[in-house]
Amino acid sequence: MNNSPIGVFDSGVGGLTCVKELAKLLPHEDIVYLGDTARVPYGTRSKETIAEYTAQDMEFLRGHNVKMILVACGTASSVIMSSPEFSGNTEPSYSGVVKPAANAACASTKNGRIGVIATGATIRSGSYGKVIRSIDPSAKVIGKACPMFVPLVENGYISKDCAPTRYFAEEYLECMKREQVDTLILGCTHYPLLADLISDIMGDGVKLISAGAELARFAVKTLTFSDELAEREEQGSQKLYCTDSPELFSENVERFLGESFSGTVEKCVLTAH
């Protein structure tokens, strides 16, 4: 057993979709979340800059004595897969969203045609395609960058009937419909807030895979296998940190976690790695 908290980070608020699923699956676990809101989005940055930001995020969480770090950012997850500074054994252990989501997609698809929507950096990295084809070499992977989704979500434009969001979604998803994908990975943790709209455009026959939710399920399996689940009966705590305005961050927390959120929100400063 291990009563240390689980650490989660994202470039902004999108990783809270992972926190929400994690709290549902493991209600007795303490969670420390970092949203690097002062530097969001990561998806428009260079690989070197993303790696530096990611190292700082992980160092911050290690300072809170976390037992595991969940990289709930598709962009950062893609970078750590190909950056040598993140290879080898580390304490605490960490995982990104790519492999759990890719495994879920391969288990779901019937026709072998898997779509991936994510930030530009994630799509350019080809990380999802590499993992999916390592599981199923015959799979066809169709990737599409959706740069407008993050700002739309963070500004509250998430309704299925929201005209601006639907305009961009229909444009982004046209290639997915044309390629007849039957499984679509939401490769950025902001995107599940647009799931109703995306599902409406893609149709009932397309399975949506939430990268953040799959990462949370992976954490459950990992901590259970290593016997590191918390040994407490009371509800776990949620401490949220951001690098920009806590007031603006709190508005999005309610959107992602619901009005029932009873944790704390604080501003923090990240130091150079």
Domains of the chain, start order: 6-96+213-267 (3.40.50.1860), 99-211 (3.40.50.1860)
- pLDDT value at 40 more than 70: yes
* % of the chain at pLDDT higher than 90: 78
Task: Provide the pLDDT for residue 155.
Answer: 85
* % of the chain at pLDDT higher than 70: 97
Query: What value does the mean pLDDT of the chain take?
Result: 93
**What would the DSSP string read from start to end of 93-151?**
EEEESHHHHHHHHHHH-SSSEEEEEE-HHHHHHTHHHHHHHHH-TT-EEEEEE-TTHHH
Task: Provide the pLDDT for residue 251.
Answer: 85
**End-to-end Cα, the chain, rounded Å:** 31
Q: Quote the Cα angle for 157-158-162, to 5°.
A: 70
**Cβ(116)–Cβ(172) under 8 Å?**
no
Residues 142-177: pLDDT tens digits? 999 999 998 898 888 999 999 999 999 999 999 999
**Cβ(114)–Cβ(141) under 8 Å?**
yes
- pLDDT value at 89 more than 60: no
Residues 188-243: pLDDT tens digits? 999 999 999 999 999 999 999 999 999 999 999 999 999 999 998 899 999 999 99
Task: Provide the pLDDT for residue 146.
Answer: 96
- pLDDT value at 83 more than 90: no
Residues 245-266: pLDDT tens digits? 999 899 888 888 876 688 899 9
User: Is 74 annotated in some ligand binding site?
Assistant: no
Task: Provide the pLDDT for residue 175.
Answer: 98
User: Is 43 annotated in some ligand binding site?
Assistant: yes
Residues 109-122: pLDDT tens digits? 999 999 999 999 89
C-alpha distance from residue 90 to each of 60, 62, 69, 180, 195 (Å): 14, 11, 10, 40, 34
User: Is 42 annotated in some ligand binding site?
Assistant: yes
Task: Provide the pLDDT for residue 88.
Answer: 63
Q: Which two tokens stand for residue 271?
A: 């130091």
User: Is 120 annotated in some ligand binding site?
Assistant: no
Return the active site residues: 73, 188
Task: Provide the pLDDT for residue 132.
Answer: 98
Q: Which two tokens stand for residue 177?
A: 């419909």
User: Is 190 annotated in some ligand binding site?
Assistant: yes
Task: Provide the pLDDT for residue 126.
Answer: 94
Task: Provide the pLDDT for residue 262.
Answer: 81
User: Is 11 annotated in some ligand binding site?
Assistant: yes
Question: If we measure between CA atoms, which residue out of 191, 198, 264, 235 comes closest to residue 28?
Answer: 235
Provide the whole-model pTM: 0.92
271 — pLDDT class (breaks 50, 70, 90): confident
Task: Provide the pLDDT for residue 7.
Answer: 98
Task: Provide the pLDDT for residue 90.
Answer: 63
